[in-house]
Amino acid sequence: MTGLLPGYKSCFFCGPATGGLSLEIQYSDGAVFCEFIANQKFQGYEGMMHGGIVAGILDEVMWWALFIETKIIVATTKMEIEFKRPVISKETYRAKGKVLKVIHNTYNVSGIIENSSGQLCAKANGYFRRLKGYTMEDIIKYLDFRGVPQEIRSFFQLK
Q: What is the pTM of this model?
A: 0.95
CATH number of the domain residue 102 falls in: 3.10.129.10
For 125-139, the pLDDT digits (tens) are 999 999 999 988 889
Mean pLDDT of 89-103: 96
Percent of the chain with pLDDT over 70: 99
Mean pLDDT of 61-86: 96
For 16-55, the pLDDT digits (tens) are 989 999 999 999 988 899 999 999 999 999 999 999 999 9
Number of domains in the chain: 1
pLDDT over 80 (residue 102): yes
Neighbours of 75 (CB within 10 A): 10
The domain in which residue 36 lies consists of 2-155
Q: Which helix (H) or strand (E) holds 76?
A: strand 74-83
